[in-house]
Structure 1
Amino acid sequence: MTAASPNPRRALRILRILWRIQRMALLALSAHKARSAFVIAAVAMGVAALTVIVASVDGARRKALEIVDFFGPDAVMVLGGDIENRPVGQRVYTLTWADARAVSRSLPGAYAVLPMRSIRQITLKYGNRNHESPVVVGATENYARAWNWPLAEGRDLSEEDVARGAKVALIGDEPARQLFGDASPLGRTIMVKNLPVQIVGRLAYRGLSGGGSDVTIDDRVIMPITTLTQRFNLDRKYFRGLRVKFHDPALIDTHKDNLRALLRHLHHLGPTDNDDFTIISASEILKFLTAFTGGLVAFLGITAGVAIVVGGFVLANLMFLSVSERKVEIGLRKAVGASGAAITAQFLSEALYLTLAGSLCGVALGVALGESLSRLGLLQLRLSPKVFVLSLAAAVAIALVFGLRPARKAAAMDPIEALRGGGD
């Protein structure tokens, strides 16, 4: 026995019924423009919140991966002071040159040790051009290599530069563009506050944000740490940070334990004493950023959920009102043979058209709001197809969840009672 072939006439009839249902749904919506606009606006607010949360979380995750990649899986950063517990009156300058030499000589697996200090908010000058740099870093030789930071041109800091306290520097992409435009900065002398410094290398553009929309990691100048401490009257015994690189990234946890034990021994800390330093690796950065992103998801997720539910309740209430007002229409349609499924399909179609329109408006509003927050440096957004897919899914869900009950109420009406009720 062979399966029966589809009946073309029946398929055509079903398509005509569906087209008629959609046409009637659109006519009903156009007849109540103010009510439709109110539902669209309510849904748009919820979808806008959803758009912002999805785009901001994607942006935060991408930024976290960029930061971890820049930091490097084979390195740790040691900072003076216990930044986790923050005891009252703690010293943050606890790392010394003796620590750096001991780590370089005695720590297994370490091949690069880079002490660093910095000063903040320094004016750079070249000719009649000025630039306010957020940070000037003092470091030992091979700064670019230690930070996996390619040089766009020129050379890195050398051991001789550090030994002589030479007045030379590497320049980041941002101050280079501000002071020299498209011209090469190599060999030029700039004023770092009141100190003349010759540029020997230009760091390649990295594009990572350093806090705020107008501050990036590219906005810096790096000079020998000896030059920085001598010329700006800084303490020459201590430095703020120590970057250590290891040969085998797979053993980074073991390297951290060895480094911590060595520094505690060098600082004469007892078994019950807290560390007076903090060791940070790429895994800690990723954990912190993941926790921050999770908090952002929870906060914005609740906000978006509440907004979407509010939009759904607005839809349900106005649809119930519409069903009550359109009893005569429903009664007449059922009297001439319209099925309950057709009535249900029409009201669900009306709900779906409203939520889809609200979804599109919400995505546009969310993108505009996200751009404003990005310009203010409050959030960093990343738009992806996932934003539109989730927005459309939210629109369909709102229509089905909040529109089904009013639609079923309309379908269940008795035609005679509907006509009688409409005439009262």
Structure 2
Amino acid sequence: MTAAWATSRRAVRVLWRIQRMAALALWAHKARSCFVVAAVAMGIAALTVIVASVDGARRKALEIVDFFGPDAVMVIGGDIENRPVGQRFNTLTWADARAVARSLPGAYAVLPMRSVRQITLKYGNRNHEAPVVVGATENYASTWNWPLAEGRDLSAEDVAHGAKVALIGDEPARQLFGDASPLGRTILVKNLPVQIVGRLSYRGFSGGGSDVTVDDRIIMPITTLTQRFNLDRNYFRGLRVKFHDPDLIDTHKDNLRALLRHLHKLGPTENDDFTIVSASEILKFLTAFTGGLVAFLGLTAAVAIVVGGFVLANLMFLSVSERKAEIGLRKAVGASGAAITAQFLSEALYLTLAGACCGIGLGVALGESLSRLGLLELRLSPKIFVLSLAAALAIALIFGLKPARTAAALDPIEALRGGGE
């Protein structure tokens, strides 16, 4: 037991001595060490951005699918997939909405919608530029699975009478009223007095690749919107349809498409003059986008990491060449080849770990800048740190092992002679 304890203590002392010598060697060549750290940091920064951006894109996809709902589809006027020259976008009519509500199997909610953009809202001496004002029929909030923070939803009476009422999103509510309740207050929507009857709860995510959130909107009866903003009253831009059985959503889509083609009198060879979008299409698009992002950023990260590894290997070979006398002296006094290998690998590992830490910080800063510009949405997770440390270890072992073995294989007499020349 005593002999084993003594052997363990001796091994710890040897390991500590090797680590101390590795640290002193790096400190003696600070400029070279910083250059290696910077090269590795660039690769780790790219890796940090790719992992965080992919996780962010996946979270965004789940948020959008959850908001859209697996039991609903959105019909949009015009063929936005093929984009034929001269196509019309005003193709959905009230007759379409009535036919879908009356005749489509499985449908239980039909919500026609249209919108106007960039409308100034006023309350007292406060103004807010709303990106979108939506016109809809009754039960907008429930049809969009959007809980109300307070108040009520739009009603059939509001739509029938073109009432000057509205639901307000979280963003304009905070901008115009602060922490006070907006219920019962009257705001000006482009000089039209409108009473707030409900406040939508905060959803908190953006759409369309911009920093405009879905919360930044107000919703009015579609009749009020068309009358007060001089819009065509025969058509609307979008139609949301909800179904009882989400598992049959593909069948529901086929039935809806067939019904609309019949209503629009489209021939067998004619393209649709509408587009049907469901949560599955959104998820497919975002998955394809994420895949392209992974391929591009993954190639960038791989190249940057390999470049950092080559920089490490070249500078370590240079270090071995310059330190031949030191290596020869250590071997002459009894240092084993394993100890020399361990020292140089330790030096490589310290450099790559420092590069990993700097790279994570650089990647997070770069990601935050891209997020503020609306180009990417990042999500930081422990996986980033695990992968970065694993990459640092791999760089040290792959690119540092050969220089370390070269140092360990030096003949002490030749090394002393070469170091003294």
- TM-score greater than 0.5 by the shorter chain: yes
Taking the aligned partners of 1:423 and 1:334, their CA distance within structure 2 comes to 15
2:348 matched residue in structure 1? 351
Q: Is the 8 A contact 1:213 1:375 kept in 2?
A: no
What is the one-letter code of the residue matched to 1:328?
Answer: A
3-state SS of paired residue (2:378):
coil
* 1:6 shift after superposition: 8.1
* 1:15 shift after superposition: 1.4
Q: Is the 8 A contact 1:78 1:277 kept in 2?
A: yes
2:26 matched residue in structure 1? 29
3-state SS of paired residue (2:267):
coil
Taking structure 2 as the reference length, the TM-score comes to 0.98
3-state SS of paired residue (1:235):
coil
Taking the aligned partners of 2:170 and 2:281, their CA distance within structure 1 comes to 28
What is the one-letter code of the residue matched to 1:224?
Answer: P
3-state SS of paired residue (1:58):
helix
Aligned-residue identity in percent: 88
3-state SS of paired residue (2:239):
strand
Taking the aligned partners of 2:416 and 2:8, their CA distance within structure 1 comes to 32
1:261 matched residue in structure 2? 258
1:108 matched residue in structure 2? 105
* Runs (5+) with no aligned partner, structure 1: none
* 1:392 shift after superposition: 0.3
Which string of whole-angstrom CA distances, capped at 9 and with x for unpartnered residues, describes residues 399-424 of structure 1?
A: 01110111111111111111111112
What is the one-letter code of the residue matched to 2:332?
Answer: A
Which string of whole-angstrom CA distances, capped at 9 and with x for unpartnered residues, describes residues 79-98 of structure 1?
A: 01111111111111111111
Q: Is the 8 A contact 1:213 1:374 kept in 2?
A: no
Q: How does 1:209-248 map to 2 (within 5 A)?
A: 209-211=206-208, 214-248=211-245
What is the one-letter code of the residue matched to 1:205?
Answer: Y
RMSD: 1.2
3-state SS of paired residue (2:58):
helix
Taking the aligned partners of 1:313 and 1:214, their CA distance within structure 2 comes to 40
* 1:372 shift after superposition: 1.6
**For residues 110 and 6 of structure 1, do their structure 2 counterparts lie closer, same or farther at Cα, with a shift above 3 Å needed?**
farther
Number of residue-to-residue matches in the alignment: 421
1:180 to 173, 177, 193: 177
Taking the aligned partners of 2:341 and 2:278, their CA distance within structure 1 comes to 59
* Runs (5+) with no aligned partner, structure 2: none
What is the one-letter code of the residue matched to 1:358?
Answer: G
Taking the aligned partners of 1:153 and 1:403, their CA distance within structure 2 comes to 63
Q: How does 1:88-99 map to 2 (within 5 A)?
A: 88-99=85-96
What is the one-letter code of the residue matched to 1:324?
Answer: S
2:407 matched residue in structure 1? 410
Taking the aligned partners of 1:285 and 1:108, their CA distance within structure 2 comes to 24
* 1:243 shift after superposition: 0.2
Which string of whole-angstrom CA distances, capped at 9 and with x for unpartnered residues, describes residues 294-350 of structure 1?
A: 111111111111111111111001000000000001111111111111111110000
2:116 to 119, 131, 134: 119
1:363 to 360, 363, 371: 360
2:168 to 171, 177, 180: 171
Q: How does 1:10-89 map to 2 (within 5 A)?
A: 10-89=7-86
Q: Is the 8 A contact 1:172 1:218 kept in 2?
A: yes
Q: Is the 8 A contact 1:211 1:377 kept in 2?
A: no
Taking the aligned partners of 1:404 and 1:326, their CA distance within structure 2 comes to 17
Which string of whole-angstrom CA distances, capped at 9 and with x for unpartnered residues, describes residues 30-75 of structure 1?
A: 1100000110111111111111111111111111101100000000
